[in-house]
Chain A
């Protein structure tokens, strides 16, 4: 398994930015400096798909390196345990938020990277980079068919089903005044893995017959690149997940400005007919105020998982919700509840612009970031630290028992899927 956060190389400012690697189902992790970016990525997601010829799975990553310009690298490793730096297969500048999904085929992986391609002169910037040959070559598909205010929102999220159905969700920005985007929440679909020349055009909206179903229209999405929700910035919270055994069932989550007095509200909707129609309102239990970092996943048995972080009572509370019936009935587990005012923000994002959830067999596995005070009361389900910590004095220490300041750390979790 591989996980990542905005973790800098702790050893070397000139060395490569690291990812976390576990070879024992998440019990222990190492930090391995294998990304093609120096010291620290400005953005990173990755996917690892297993196929007949590579049962361990190749790792595919989309990373941003931020220097004078922002550079996207789409890269691959066929053995993360080797410690070798990932092989860059495609690179370009002026893009945002690469979000990687991959699907294994017998000989090669199909890779789908959602990016906001700010180099698109048309202003239709929501894009999916598709590779059908394991990353050897990529083709960029603009998935926005409507006029924008000059660009789409940063988050473009693909979701892939084993039957070759590929969905992608994005924010179609129609107006933007610098602090609020008036946005459609759009879903596109391709039924053949985006192998054809007219990719992502299978789903048309009845209102204008253009590709891309407008799940909700003209919502107000606050955009703030400053501490706004607690110490976190907001504006690009979006997630989509498809049932691996029934690609007609798809869940979509996003955040916008909710009721008056609320800052940022999560919503989840569902389609059971391949994105043609959607629930008219939020699914039960899924309208969550003052929350961000939504991540959705669907397990093999159809159970939907919903990971999010809510600012409540001066604390960041990380929830993992599950439901087998479209969230009519739920199991809600609090993974962490930590003080929101410490540590003081050093840079943005504070926790992260997104967290991650995926279904593996009968487990939901995921990663989120939180205050790392070693206090068992903050982690109701229990916690194991990979760093030295004294839970009695609630102090982090270095290898010589010297105290270390509290910071933001990534936390990995595994939760059994509801039967």
Chain B
């Protein structure tokens, strides 16, 4: 089964309903794709039913036989022929035999998978999934678009986007005035400071000195493990925000007091290979 064909069928259905609103429909599609952790096409086999023990049965739960899987996390076992329980928003929209593409988020995971519907697209009877116009975007294109949209959003909310190299990393000496805020817990961030030598500023006002302080959590506690960690000589693109997390918005750099910045989310640091992509998105 060609998975992308089912997705194209969904887009075709939307365009038939609202031909003049296709750009918006595509945006909605992208939003749905982004929100959804599981997307699959399937055929309703039972209504007001569930597919495995432990899932509460209600008028809103239906069982769908999977025809193809478009998106799923690696950790989830889901393949053609599996039965999935879907808690739908509008049970009246489904009856046995209804074919649809389901956009969903996870709900219950056991001997099977149960999901909650975020959206769906009915495949019209007699519709040919592959008949969508060649101008429609493929699932892969949409995924790339979403990835670009995420990056663009991060760039838009950043105070600085900088190409640079880390010249020093040291533990942040917490000022005595702020020490009371830094009590000990397993979730303590263990703040460190990276001195960032700026090579070019892609976004943000000019800086008097060519260096910035990037404050980052060195802790590998579950609360911080996914935040980027920095090492001396590390180079790349840094998407920075003024520090509103550590509790002190300033840092000391070469005897001067300067603003401190953070770079906390995965993807807030990118390797140099992404420079052209970032520059391109900044122009949009």
Contacts and interface: CB of A to CB of B under 8 A. Distances in A.
A247 B280 CA distance: 70
Contacts of B111: 28, 30, 386
Contact of A11 (B82, B106, B245): B106
Contacts of B263: none
Contacts of B245: 68
Interface string A211-234: 000000000000101100000010
A138 interface: no
Interface residues of B, number: 43
A160 to B, nearest CB: 25
Contacts of A348: 186, 219-222, 225
B268 to A, nearest CB: 14
B219 A11 contact: no
A388 interface: yes
Given A11-B109, A18-B109, A154-B185, A400 B223 contact: no
B78 A10 contact: no
B111 to A, nearest CB: 7
B229 to A, nearest CB: 12
A96 B183 CA distance: 10
Contact of B187 (A70, A81, A150, A386): A70
A10 B75 contact: yes
A331 interface: no
A176 B184 contact: yes
A412 to B, nearest CB: 14
A47 interface: no
Interface string A62-106: 001010101000000000011100000000000011000000000
A9 B186 contact: no
B68 to A, nearest CB: 14
B48 interface: no
Nearest to B87: A83
A346 B225 CA distance: 8
B62 interface: no
Interface in B72-91: 73, 75-79, 82, 87
Contacts of B219: 225, 348
A345 B38 CA distance: 28
A21 interface: yes
A182 interface: no
B37 interface: yes
A12 B73 CA distance: 8
A386 B111 CA distance: 8
A21 B222 CA distance: 23
Interface in B189-237: 190, 219-225
Contact of A233 (B35, B87, B115, B186): B186
A66 B222 contact: yes
Contact of B110 (A31, A64, A68, A225): A31
Contact of B186 (A31, A125, A349): A349
A15 B225 contact: no
B239 interface: no
A66 B56 CA distance: 30
A11 B115 contact: yes
Contacts of B77: 388, 398-400
Contact of A31 (B79, B108, B225): B108
A296 interface: no
Contact of A10 (B73, B187, B225): B73
Contact of B222 (A30, A31, A40, A399): A40
A96 B185 contact: yes
Contact of A33 (B35, B107, B187): B107
Interface residues of A, number: 54
A15 to B, nearest CB: 5
Contacts of A43: 187
Nearest to B53: A28
A18 B110 CA distance: 12
A64 B245 CA distance: 17
B185 A118 contact: yes
Contacts of A31: 108-110
Interface string B162-203: 000000000000000000100111111010000000000000
B258 interface: no
A40 B115 CA distance: 18
B54 interface: yes
A117 to B, nearest CB: 10
Nearest to B247: A69
Contact of B108 (A70, A83, A388): A83
A394 to B, nearest CB: 19
B266 to A, nearest CB: 11
B210 to A, nearest CB: 29
Contacts of B73: 10-12
B141 interface: no
A158 B52 CA distance: 37
B147 interface: no
Given A12-B106, A14-B37, A33-B108, A347 B222 contact: yes
Contacts of B184: 151, 154, 176, 223
A14 B107 contact: no
Contact of B107 (A42, A83, A125, A399): A83
A6 B222 CA distance: 9
A184 to B, nearest CB: 17
Interface of A: 6, 9-15, 18, 21, 23, 28-33, 40, 42-43, 64, 66, 68, 70, 81-83, 96-97, 116, 118, 121, 125, 150-151, 154, 176, 223, 225-226, 233, 235-236, 345-349, 353, 386, 388, 398-400
Given A10-B109, A15-B37, 17 more contacts: A10-B76, A11-B106, A14-B37, A21-B54, A30-B53, A30-B111, A42-B222, A64-B187, A66-B224, A150-B183, A154-B184, A225-B190, A348-B219, A348-B220, A348-B222, A398-B77, A400-B79
The 4 A-B pairs with the shortest beta carbon distances in the complex, nearest first, are A11-B106, A399-B77, A30-B110, A66-B223
